[in-house]
Structure formats: C-alpha cells, structure tokens
Amino acid sequence: MQNQVAQLYNPLLGYVRKRVRNQEDAEDLTQDVFLKMSRSNSNGIDDLKSWVYRIAKNTITDYYRKKRLQTDIIEGDVLLDYEEDDNVSIELSTCVSMFIEQLPEEYKDLLVLSELKEMSQKEIAQQLNMNYVTVRSKVQRGRKKLRELFESCCIVEQGGKGSILGYQTKKGCGDKSTCT
C-alpha cells in the first residue's frame, strides 16, 4: 500500500495544482491530504485512488471555504483577493467597515463579528445565544444589504475569477464613502 500511496503523490499534486493558483498552497494541501490519510483508517477501502482523490477534493473545498471567510467580504462576485496584493482590493476592503456601520443594528452586529472579526457563524450563534439558522440567514441578508450599499456608491471593475481591477466612486456619494 505504501508503494501505491507514493505513486499517487505527483498525480495528486497535479490535481490539486490545477484547482489552486498558488504552488506552495498546492504542495501544502497535498501534504494535508496525505496527513489526513495517515490519520484515518483505510481498512475496507476498495479503491485507494478514488478515496485519496475524495479526500483531496474535500481538502480543496475546505481551503476555499477558509479563504472565502478571509477574503469574501461581500458575497457574490466581488472577491477581495489579498493573495495578489492588489492595492485596489485592499483600499476597498477598508471601506467595508464604514458601510457596515450604515446597516440596521440586526445586521451590523452580525457582520462585524462574521466579516471583520472573522468569527464563524456557529460561534456567533453560541456567543449571542441565537439559533444558528437565524444567524446564517441574517448574515446572508446583511451581506446582500452591504453589497447594495457598496454598489450604490462604487462601480467596481472586475477581471476574471472576480479579481478587482479598479473602482470608481459614483457621483453624489462623496461623504458617504472614504473609498476615494
């Protein structure tokens, strides 16, 4: 079995690399897959290769979920991609807290916790003694309202995969936004 696993490393790395833009992250994720394999019980696994690729797929999904928590401040197509060290994205991300302050209280508090303090929605539900489903739906509605506020003041030019190429503040938004 060790021989089979060793033979899977390069193809698995290629699989992960096609799905993750950064070579170092792809290597780390591939190592994570092998770590997860070593910690789990492979007895009764009929098809080792498909089992390993299922672990890889789940690991990649977790990677992007974590990234989204860190960078997807506005739900939808606008992704603030810090990996590319894009100054425009960083500038826009500093505006988010100002826009959050304009939201109704029921959304503002939840978005501050989830987006700015990067707490999970489950943690928020526990901390505020709220139902998780309620927190999740209010965070989603709050993100939608936040996006509407953001789009009412800014025109964002996007490239492929949601990267932000530039932005422009709309007329009449002057004092409402510090994004200029």
Q: In three state form, how does the secondary structure of 75-135 look?
A: CCCCCCCHHHCCHHHHHHHHHHHHHHCCCCHHHHHHHHHHHHCCCCHHHHHHHHCCCHHHH
d(CA 92, CA 89): 5
* Mean predicted lDDT score pLDDT of the chain: 76
**Which of 4-8, 44-48, 61-65, 151-155 has the lowest average pLDDT?**
4-8
Maximal CA-CA distance, the chain = 66
What residue type is assigned to position 133 of the chain? V
d(CA 34, CA 77): 33
Cα separations (Å) of 157 from 91, 111, 163, 166, 176? 14, 24, 9, 5, 20
d(CA 23, CA 16): 9
Cβ atoms of 115 and 101 within 8 Å: the answer is no
Q: Is the pLDDT of residue 137 over 90?
A: yes
- Who wins on pLDDT, 90 or 112? 112
**Which of 19-33, 36-50, 62-76, 113-127 has the lowest average pLDDT?**
62-76
pLDDT in the model for residue 64? 80
d(CA 78, CA 16): 24
d(CA 125, CA 45): 37
Cα separations (Å) of 80 from 14, 41, 68, 72, 178? 26, 39, 9, 6, 17
- Who wins on pLDDT, 103 or 97? 103
**Which of 53-67, 104-118, 127-141, 155-169 has the lowest average pLDDT?**
155-169
Q: What is the pTM of this model?
A: 0.46
Q: Six-digit token pair at 42?
A: 């492979």
Query: Which residue segments constitute the domains of the chain, with CATH numbers given?
Result: 2-70 (1.10.1740), 74-176 (1.10.10.10)
What residue type is assigned to position 3 of the chain? N
pLDDT in the model for residue 139? 92
Q: Is the pLDDT of residue 89 over 50?
A: yes
Q: Is the pLDDT of residue 77 over 90?
A: no
In the block, which residue shows the tokens 């089992």?
51
pLDDT in the model for residue 31? 93
